């Protein structure tokens, strides 16, 4: 009987610690903004550049604006909204510095906006920086981008990060 009580006490302690870790993980996510650097890939006789604005965390989803510029085919570019779903499991992997797969949706702006599935795999360098591989299909072509990412705290640091992201977006050809 005594061993059974000890086992129950140990299990209860493990559950309490697990909930505290999960709460801390969610708290860290809600207080940080995800910034993804612009990234390019070659296309026929040109280049496609993916520019993602600051992504904010709400209810398990990092979301924000994106833009794809295609040079010299300016008419092939698009703008829209990106939503990356980050499961509790993936969020825990990020905080442990492990590679994590996530999925998302890119929805173009305008009347009759089209949605496309986006896959991503993040490889943390440390708790605040890393690289992310994003891929999706546009028409019949698989588009693959591999930018760097970093997190900034909401507030003054976030404003500086947004300004940097906006400046980079303005300078991209």
CA distances from 26 to 10, 57, 95, 99, 109 (A): 25, 10, 10, 18, 30
pLDDT tens string 106-154: 999 987 789 999 999 999 998 889 999 999 998 788 999 999 999 898 7
Q: Tokens 């303005």 belong to which residue?
A: 170
Query: Rounded to an integer, what distance in angstroms lies between the CA atom of residue 119 and that of residue 112?
Result: 23
User: What are the structural domain ranges in the chain?
Assistant: 1-30, 32-171
pLDDT < 70 regions, the chain: 1-30, 156-173
Domain 32-171 has CATH 2.40.160: yes
Q: What does the block give as tokens for 113?
A: 């906006």
Q: What angle do CA 49, 51, 53 make, to 5 degrees?
A: 180
């Amino acid at each position: 009987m005594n061993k059974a009580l000890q086992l129950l006490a140990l299990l209860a302690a493990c559950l309490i610690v697990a909930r505290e870790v999960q709460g801390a993980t969610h708290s860290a996510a809600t207080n940080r903004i995800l910034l993804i650097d612009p990234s390019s890939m070659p296309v026929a006789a040109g280049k496609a550049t993916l520019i993602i604005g600051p992504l904010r965390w709400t209810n398990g989803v990092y979301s924000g604006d994106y833009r794809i510029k295609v040079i010299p085919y300016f008419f092939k570019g698009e703008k829209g909204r990106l939503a990356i779903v980050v499961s509790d499991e993936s969020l825990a992997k990020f905080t442990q510095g492990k590679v994590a797969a996530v999925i998302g949706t890119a929805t173009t702006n305008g009347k009759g906006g089209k949605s496309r599935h986006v896959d991503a795999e993040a490889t943390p360098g440390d708790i605040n920086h890393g690289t992310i591989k994003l891929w999706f299909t546009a028409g019949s072509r698989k588009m693959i981008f591999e930018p760097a990412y970093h997190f900034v705290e909401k507030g003054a640091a976030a404003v500086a990060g947004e300004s940097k992201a906006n400046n980079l977006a303005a300078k991209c050809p």
